[in-house]
C-alpha cells in the first residue's frame, strides 16, 4: 500500500492496524438499507466508498460523513434502482468485502484490451465517424463510454484486434489509429484541441471521463448545440472563517451517481472533504460539503471560488440525461456500432451520451439522442430509425409525450416498451453481478 509522502511512520501504522469497520443494517430504516463505514482518514477514501456503492447502480437517498482527527465515518442510506432495500446476500457480502478494503484502493482490470481516450468538439455524426474508422482499422469495440458537455466530447473506448482477439500492441498500428481518429475529431473547426491517446494506466472509467473533460476545460466553454435542460444545478461556495472551512452547497435534480460525480470532482481538484451531508426529497438533492485544501487552508481568491462553482456545475451536467434513451440489445457482430450510429446520423439524430458493452457475444448499448440542434427528437423519426435497425433490437425507454400517446393506442407497442424497461433493469443488474463474480454465465 502506498502512502502520501507527508505521512509519518505512526500514521502509516494507524492505517495498517485499523482496517475499516463495515455495518450493513436493514432494520434501522423502513425505506432504505443503512451502510456504515468507520475508517482511518485518508485523502480520497470517501470517493472510494462512494464508488463501491455507485458501481452497483445503487441509489444514495441520504448520507453524512465526518472526520474526527485521524478517523472518518460514513453513513449511507441506499436502495436499489426500484427504491427497495437490499436483500440479495451476494450483493451485501460484496459491499462488506469491498468497503472493508478501501484503504488499499481498487483495481480496474481491462486485460486483453487497448484503451483509447478521445476528446474534441462535439458535432452531429462524430461518433459514427469514430466507429467507422475503428471498424476500418480492424478494431473490435468491446466497451465504451461517451459523454458530451458544453459542445465538447470525451470518450473512453476499449478495443481489441478483430482477427487475433488480443490487445493492440503494434506501435505502427496504434499510431495509425491515433492519427486517423485525430483527423476525425479535428473536423473543420477543432484543429488545436482535438486529442487522442492510448492509455496505459487503468483507472475507474467514469472517474477518467471526469478527468478528461476537466483537463479539456469543458466547464468554461460555451456549447455549440444548445441542449435544453429542466434546470441548472445551483452551487454556492462560502468560507466559515472561524473554523477554516469552505462550505460548498449543491442543489439539483436527483439522479443515480450524483454523489459520485460531485465527490470525484472535489477529490481530483485536491480538496479534502472533512464533513458533509446529502438529502433527497422527491426528485431533488441537496448536498453540503465542508472542505479544505490538502494543506489545510480554505478556498481563498474569488477566482478560485468561481472556478469551483463552474467545475461542480459541469460535473453534475456531464452525466445528466439529454434526449431519448435508446437501448440496443442484439448479437454482436463486426461493424455493428458503425452501422447503428450511421443510421442515427443519416436521420439527423445526435448522440449526447453512450454506454457500450459486450457480454458473452451480446451487445447491450445505450444511446441518448436528440435532434441536430439539441431539442427532443421527433417520435416519428425515432420510430423510423427503429424500423431500420430492428424494432426488437432497438427499444425506447424514456419517451417524449407524443410517443406515450401513441403507445397507449397500440397495445403491441406498449408491451414492447414495458419489455424494454424490464430488459434494461434485468440486464444491467445481471451484468454487474456477472462482472463481480456473483452469478454465473447462463450461455
Question: Among 12-16, 181-185, 221-225, which range has the highest average pLDDT?
Answer: 181-185
Across the range 256-265, mean pLDDT stands at: 96
d(CA 368, CA 355) in angstroms, rounded, equals 9
Q: What are the start-end ranges of the E strands in 106-233?
A: 114-121, 139-149, 152-161, 195-199
Find where cell 478527468 sits: 211
pLDDT score, position 66? 93
| Residues facing 183 on adjacent strands | none
Q: Are 289 and 269 in contact (CB under 8 A)?
A: no
Q: Are 118 and 153 in contact (CB under 8 A)?
A: yes
pLDDT in tens, 388-425: 999 999 999 865 444 444 444 444 443 343 343 333 43
pLDDT band at 17 (very low <50, low <70, confident <90, very high): low
Q: What are the start-end ranges of the E strands in 348-397?
A: 350-359, 362-370, 394-396
Please classify residue 302 by burial: count the beta carbons closer than 10 Å to its beta carbon, then call 0-12 exposed, 13-18 middle and 19+ buried: exposed
pLDDT at 90 over 90: yes
pLDDT score, position 189? 65
pLDDT band at 194 (very low <50, low <70, confident <90, very high): confident
pLDDT band at 327 (very low <50, low <70, confident <90, very high): very high
pLDDT band at 180 (very low <50, low <70, confident <90, very high): very high
Angle at which helix 89-99 crosses helix 45-54, to 10 degrees, equals 170
Q: Which of 101-105, 146-150, 327-331, 348-352 has the lowest mean pLDDT?
A: 101-105
Q: Which residue has the higher pLDDT, 188 or 159?
A: 159
pLDDT at 11 over 90: no
d(CA 208, CA 318) in angstroms, rounded, equals 13
Residue 429 CB neighbours (<10 A): 18
Find where cell 433493469 sits: 425
Residue 239, C-alpha cell as written in the block: 468560507
pLDDT score, position 232? 82
Q: What is the DSSP string of 326-350?
A: EEEEEE--TTHHHHHHHHHHHTT-E
Q: Which of 140-144, 244-248, 387-391, 406-410 has the lowest mean pLDDT?
A: 406-410
pLDDT at 107 over 90: no
Give first-to-last CA distance, the chain, whole Å.
38
Average pLDDT, the chain: 84
Strands 234-240 and 245-253: antiparallel
pLDDT score, position 397? 84
pLDDT score, position 443? 35
Q: What is the DSSP string of 8-35?
A: -HHHHHHHHH-PPEEEEESSS-SSSEEE
pLDDT at 427 over 50: no
pLDDT score, position 439? 43
pLDDT in tens, 27-81: 999 999 999 999 888 888 899 999 999 999 999 999 999 987 788 899 999 999 8
Which domains does the chain possess? 1-106 (3.30.70.260), 114-200+322-435 (3.30.70.260), 229-320 (3.30.70.260)
Q: Which residue has the higher pLDDT, 34 or 112?
A: 34
Nearest CA to 118 among 36, 197, 53, 206? Answer: 197
pLDDT band at 227 (very low <50, low <70, confident <90, very high): very low
Question: Among 87-101, 199-213, 403-417, which range has the highest average pLDDT?
Answer: 87-101
pLDDT at 379 over 60: yes
d(CA 371, CA 125) in angstroms, rounded, equals 11
pLDDT score, position 303? 96
pLDDT score, position 221? 74
Q: What is the dihedral of CA 263, 269, 271, 276, to 10 degrees?
A: -20
Nearest CA to 62 among 92, 96, 32, 25? Answer: 32
pLDDT score, position 40? 83
d(CA 87, CA 79) in angstroms, rounded, equals 10
Q: Full-prediction pTM beyond 0.75?
A: yes
Amino acid at each position: 500500500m502506498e502512502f502520501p509522502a507527508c505521512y509519518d511512520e505512526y500514521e502509516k501504522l494507524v492505517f495498517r492496524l485499523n482496517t475499516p469497520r463495515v455495518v450493513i443494517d436493514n432494520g434501522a430504516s423502513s425505506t432504505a438499507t443503512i451502510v456504515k463505514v468507520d475508517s482511518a482518514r485518508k485523502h480520497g477514501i470517501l470517493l472510494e466508498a462512494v464508488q463501491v456503492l455507485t458501481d452497483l447502480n445503487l441509489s444514495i437517498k441520504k448520507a453524512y460523513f465526518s472526520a474526527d482527527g485521524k478517523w472518518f465515518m460514513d453513513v449511507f442510506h441506499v436502495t436499489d434502482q426500484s427504491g427497495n432495500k437490499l436483500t440479495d446476500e451476494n450483493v451485501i457480502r460484496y459491499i462488506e468485502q469491498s468497503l472493508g478494503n478501501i484503504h488499499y484502493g481498487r483495481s480496474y482490470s481491462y486485460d486483453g484490451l487497448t484503451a483509447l481516450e478521445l476528446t474534441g468538439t462535439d458535432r452531429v455524426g462524430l461518433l459514427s465517424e469514430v466507429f467507422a474508422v475503428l471498424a476500418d482499422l480492424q478494431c473490435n469495440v468491446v466497451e465504451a463510454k461517451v459523454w458530451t458537455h458544453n459542445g465538447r466530447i470525451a470518450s473512453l473506448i476499449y478495443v481489441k484486434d478483430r482477427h487475433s482477439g488480443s490487445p493492440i500492441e503494434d506501435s505502427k498500428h496504434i499510431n495509425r489509429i491515433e492519427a486517423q481518429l485525430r483527423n476525425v475529431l479535428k473536423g473543420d473547426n477543432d484543429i488545436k484541441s482535438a486529442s487522442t491517446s492510448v492509455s496505459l494506466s487503468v483507472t475507474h472509467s467514469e472517474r477518467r471521463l471526469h478527468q478528461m473533460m476537466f483537463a479539456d476545460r469543458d466547464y468554461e466553454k460555451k456549447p455549440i448545440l444548445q441542449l435544453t435542460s429542466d434546470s441548472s444545478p445551483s452551487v454556492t461556495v462560502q468560507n466559515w472563517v472561524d473554523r477554516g472551512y469552505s462550505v460548498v452547497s449543491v442543489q439539483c435534480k436527483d439522479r443515480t451517481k450524483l454523489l459520485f460525480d460531485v465527490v470525484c470532482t472535489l477529490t481530483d481538484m485536491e480538496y479534502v472533504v472533512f464533513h458533509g451531508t446529502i438529502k433527497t426529497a422527491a426528485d431533488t438533492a441537496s448536498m453540503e460539503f465542508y472542505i479544505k485544501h490538502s494543506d489545510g487552508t480554505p478556498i481563498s481568491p474569488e477566482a478560485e471560488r468561481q472556478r469551483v462553482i463552474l467545475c461542480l456545475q459541469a460535473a453534475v451536467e456531464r452525466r445528466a440525461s439529454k434526449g431519448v434513451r435508446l437501448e440496443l440489445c442484439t448479437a454482436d457482430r463486426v461493424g455493428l456500432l458503425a452501422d447503428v450510429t450511421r443510421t442515427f446520423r443519416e436521420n439527423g439524430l445526435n448522440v449526447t451520451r453512450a454506454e457500450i458493452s459486450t457480454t458473452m457475444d451480446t451487445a447491450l448499448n445505450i444511446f441518448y439522442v436528440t435532434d441536430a440542434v439539441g431539442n427532443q427528437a421527433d417520435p416519428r423519426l425515432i420510430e423510423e430509425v427503429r424500423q431500420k435497425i430492428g424494432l426488437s433490437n432497438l427499444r425506447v425507454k424514456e419517451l417524449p409525450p407524443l410517443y406515450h400517446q401513441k403507445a397507449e393506442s397500440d397495445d403491441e407497442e406498449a408491451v414492447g416498451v414495458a419489455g424494454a424497461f424490464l430488459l434494461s433493469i434485468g440486464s444491467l443488474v445481471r451484468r454487474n453481478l456477472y462482472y463481480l463474480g456473483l452469478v454465473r454465465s447462463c450461455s
